[in-house]
Amino acid sequence: MYNLRVTGTEKVFQVGKVVCLGRNYSEHIRELGNEVPDRPVIFIKPATSIIGQSEKIVIPSYSRDCHHEVELAVLIGKTGKNISEDQAMEHVAGYGVAIDLTLRDVQSELKAKGLPWEVAKGFDTSCPLSGFVASDQVGNPHDLGIRLAVNGELRQDSTTACMMRRIPQMIREISAVFTLEEGDIILTGTPAGVGAIKSGDRLSAQIDGVGTLEVSVE
Ligand code: MG
């Protein structure tokens, strides 16, 4: 179970599920040699995958290639199903910084066989999250600088303006499949520059106007 609060508020959100969008930035699609999807690529990380600020990532022993993917995290504040794009933003309580850790070697093997990705994406510690800020404190969530550095070296440096699917569209499409409950989180995809991390590395992720997230690898 993972509980979080929006900075400056008292309400506690219990995270139920983390719904993630794949292939949402075109330069990242290109760097992995994937095709631009016409339908959204959606997968789920269980709440047990979440760690907080300053906690440690534990790379599972069955992988030799764990990648960082910095992503804007959207906190759902109001439960809904079949949410329209017009109403979507009313369901957003806040924003945070997330890292979608991915066992790229394991994922590639699963992809090639047409198998599900959870083993590569949903392992314990695979979802570091920052604190959250209220949505009304963030100007335009589709125009935020987003960066990730490993041991002080900048690896990912982009803007959420490059997201192909915007938040209202994601919420409409996701909520047509899964009821989005209060406390659920959406990860909105990663820009280019993903790469491997190893034991001892320090990761520092940042989204302008949202916050920073610092974690390290055990
Ligand atoms: Mg991702």
Residuewise pLDDT in 10s, the chain (218 residues): 899 999 999 999 999 999 999 999 988 888 988 888 889 999 999 999 999 999 999 999 999 999 999 999 999 999 999 999 999 999 999 999 999 999 999 999 999 999 999 999 999 999 999 999 999 999 999 999 999 999 999 999 999 999 999 999 999 999 999 999 999 999 999 999 999 999 999 999 999 999 999 999 99
Q: Residue 53 C-alpha to ligand 1 middle, in angstroms?
A: 19
Q: What is the pLDDT of residue 36?
A: 86
Q: For 2-217, CATH number?
A: 3.90.850.10
Structure tokens at 89: 């933003």
Q: What is the pLDDT of residue 37?
A: 86
Query: Do 70 and 190 form a contact (C-beta atoms < 8 A)?
Result: yes
Q: Residue 65 C-alpha to ligand 1 middle, in angstroms?
A: 15
- Closest CA relative to residue 65, chosen from 23, 102, 30, 99: 102
The structure's pTM equals 0.97
Q: Residue 189 C-alpha to ligand 1 middle, in angstroms?
A: 5
Q: What is the pLDDT of residue 107?
A: 97
Using the Cα atoms of residue 144, residue 85, residue 27 and residue 187 in order, give the sign of their dihedral: positive
Q: Residue 71 C-alpha to ligand 1 middle, in angstroms?
A: 7
Beta strands in the chain (DSSP E): 2-5, 12-15, 17-22, 41-46, 50-51, 56-57, 66-68, 70-76, 92-99, 102-103, 127-134, 145-150, 153-159, 185-187, 195-197, 202-207, 211-217
Strand partners, 71: 98
Q: Residue 181 C-alpha to ligand 1 middle, in angstroms?
A: 21
Q: What is the pLDDT of residue 70?
A: 98
Structure tokens at 118: 């959870």
Residue ranges per structural domain of the chain: 2-217
- Closest CA relative to residue 142, chosen from 107, 170, 182: 170
Q: Residue 101 C-alpha to ligand 1 middle, in angstroms?
A: 7
Q: Residue 100 C-alpha to ligand 1 middle, in angstroms?
A: 5
Cα 188–chain centre separation: 6
- How far is 195 from 65, CA to CA, in rounded Å? 9
Q: Residue 20 C-alpha to ligand 1 middle, in angstroms?
A: 7
Q: Residue 57 C-alpha to ligand 1 middle, in angstroms?
A: 16
